[in-house]
């Protein structure tokens, strides 16, 4: 079975400080992993995705994530938080080429303090 | 803007009623997915259509049904509505059938409130 666990339901950082949002996955196969962001009253936007190419994936808005198979992790980072980063972030797994649905984590709400 | 459109933005109705949510995928995308986002259940996959045919089913209730039309737009029908059906319903689309390389693009959602 496949699943994804976001270790923190809420993360609060000061503007200009680093962001770390943690995600662990469980999968019987080599997964594809995604991070999506949801701003208040908006739909979900793809930040970045890992599909077995480079283990360090760069996304939009300065975010990046590193796939670590030995730790079954796909943590999302950003060197310096901006006020506009305040949103809900979802770690998502899609397993096997034949699987069509995405499994979403429970989300991490990021608050950025001015 | 993802290119996926959903109507209506908001819907308020009463228990026992039936509603239809509409989704238009991005130009060229053949797959449409429906998701439900609620406070207690989080984001859950409901159903996927690919080029007019049902492709995958998730946690979709029997009271709910969907279809994809020849022009590729999709409708999600929710009937015998209950208070617990109040949620944000998202539609997403992708070019292919899904899985590894077919990232999904999400619409802005329809907020359903059942009173």
What is the tens place of the pLDDT at every residue in B53-109? 998 888 899 999 999 999 999 999 999 999 999 999 999 998 877 655 667 899 999
Q: How far apart are CA B82 and CA A37, in angstroms?
A: 29
Q: How far apart are CA B22 and CA B108, in angstroms?
A: 12
- Asked if A100 lies within 8 A of B101 by C-beta distance, the reply is no
A7: left (phi over 0), alpha (psi -120 to 50) or beta: alpha
What are the φ/ψ torsions at residue A75 (nearest 5 degrees)? -75, 145
- Asked if A101 lies within 8 A of B100 by C-beta distance, the reply is no
| Residues in chain A within 8 Å Cβ distance of B26 | none
Report the pLDDT averaged over residues A58-63. 95
pLDDT of residue A37: 95
pLDDT of residue A95: 63
Q: Parallel, antiparallel, or unpaired for β B74-78 and B87-94? A: unpaired
Q: How far apart are CA A90 and CA A88, in angstroms?
A: 7
| Cβ atoms of B66 and B77 closer than 8 Å | yes
CA dihedral B82, B88, B94, B96 (to 10 degrees): -20
Q: What is the mean pLDDT of chain B?
A: 92
| A14 strand-pairing partners | A113
A104/B contact by beta carbon, under 8 A: yes
pLDDT of residue A96: 56
| Residues in chain B within 8 Å Cβ distance of A100 | 31, 33, 48, 50, 55-56, 97-99
Nearest to A104 among B4, B31, B43 (CB): B43
Nearest to A94 among B4, B99, B109 (CB): B99
A34/B contact by beta carbon, under 8 A: yes
pLDDT of residue A42: 81
CA pseudo-torsion sign B23, B25, B30, B34: negative
Q: How far is A14 from chain B (nearest CA, A)?
A: 27
Q: How far apart are CA B76 and CA A98, in angstroms?
A: 24
The set of residues, in sequence order, having a beta carbon less than 8 Å from that of A17 and lying 6+ positions away, is: A80, A81
How is residue B71 written in tokens?
Answer: 């022009």
| B5 strand-pairing partners | B24
pLDDT of residue A98: 52
């Amino acid at each position: 079975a496949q699943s994804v666990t976001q270790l923190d339901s809420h993360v609060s950082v000061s503007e200009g400080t680093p962001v770390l949002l943690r995600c662990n996955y469980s999968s019987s196969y080599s997964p594809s992993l995604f991070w999506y962001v949801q701003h208040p009253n908006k739909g979900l936007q793809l930040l970045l995705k890992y599909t077995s190419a480079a283990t360090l994936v760069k996304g939009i808005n300065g975010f990046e994530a590193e796939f670590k198979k030995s730790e079954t992790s796909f943590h999302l980072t950003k060197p310096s938080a901006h006020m506009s980063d305040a949103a809900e972030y979802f770690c998502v797994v899609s397993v096997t080429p034949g699987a069509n649905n995405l499994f979403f984590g429970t989300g991490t709400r990021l608050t950025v303090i001015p | 803007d993802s290119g996926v459109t959903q109507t209506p933005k908001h819907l308020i109705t009463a228990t026992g009623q039936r509603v239809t949510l509409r989704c238009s995928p991005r130009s060229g995308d053949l797959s449409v997915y429906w998701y439900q986002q609620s406070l207690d259940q989080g984001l859950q996959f409901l159903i996927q259509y690919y080029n007019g045919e049902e492709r995958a089913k998730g946690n979709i209730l029997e009271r709910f049904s969907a279809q994809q039309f020849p022009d590729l737009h999709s409708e999600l029908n929710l009937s015998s509505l209950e208070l617990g059906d109040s949620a944000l319903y998202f539609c997403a689309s992708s070019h292919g059938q899904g899985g590894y390389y077919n990232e999904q693009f999400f619409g802005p959602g329809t907020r359903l409130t059942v009173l």
